[in-house]
């Protein structure tokens, strides 16, 4: 998938967030073949250890259970847009774009998502829109 490729909307069952050593926002995306199963689309950043990485490896990473990637491939988060009225979150990475339907997600989880994404963006390396 390329950045210009149109992506289908993915239904999100819930969002989990963590703010320990790792800053994590994980979207439980309903599986294509069985909507009762979920696959995680995870945004993660570990500020504590970023100093040990090469500059081009620093930032929030994106991984999706559904997608295979090379062992040494680093997929970085570049942008997150939240259209609150439409209940759509668009995640853009160096690998592609994910359009997420968050209508089923609890409003408190969406609020926490925004808080964690702002923490992840302490160095303004991610473009955040309506977060």
pLDDT at 95: 87
- pLDDT exceeds 70 at position 1: no
d(CA 34, CA 45): 30
d(CA 64, CA 77): 12
| Average pLDDT estimate for 10-17 | 94
The pLDDT tens digits for 24-74 are 999 999 987 776 788 999 999 988 888 777 777 788 999 998 877 777 778
pLDDT at 56: 73
What is the value of pTM for the model shown?
Answer: 0.86
């Amino acid at each position: 998938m390329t950045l210009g490729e149109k992506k289908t909307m993915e239904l999100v069952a819930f969002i989990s967030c963590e703010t320990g050593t790792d800053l994590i926002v994980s979207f439980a995306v309903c599986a294509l073949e069985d909507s009762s199963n979920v696959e995680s689309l995870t945004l993660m950043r570990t500020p504590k250890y970023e100093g040990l990485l090469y500059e081009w490896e620093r930032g929030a990473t994106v991984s999706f259970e559904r997608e295979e990637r090379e062992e040494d491939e680093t997929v970085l988060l570049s942008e997150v847009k939240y259209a609150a009225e439409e209940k759509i979150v668009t995640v853009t990475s160096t690998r592609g774009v994910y359009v997420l339907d968050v209508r089923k997600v609890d409003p408190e989880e969406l609020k926490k998502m925004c808080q964690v994404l702002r923490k992840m963006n302490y160095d303004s390396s991610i473009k955040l829109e309506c977060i």
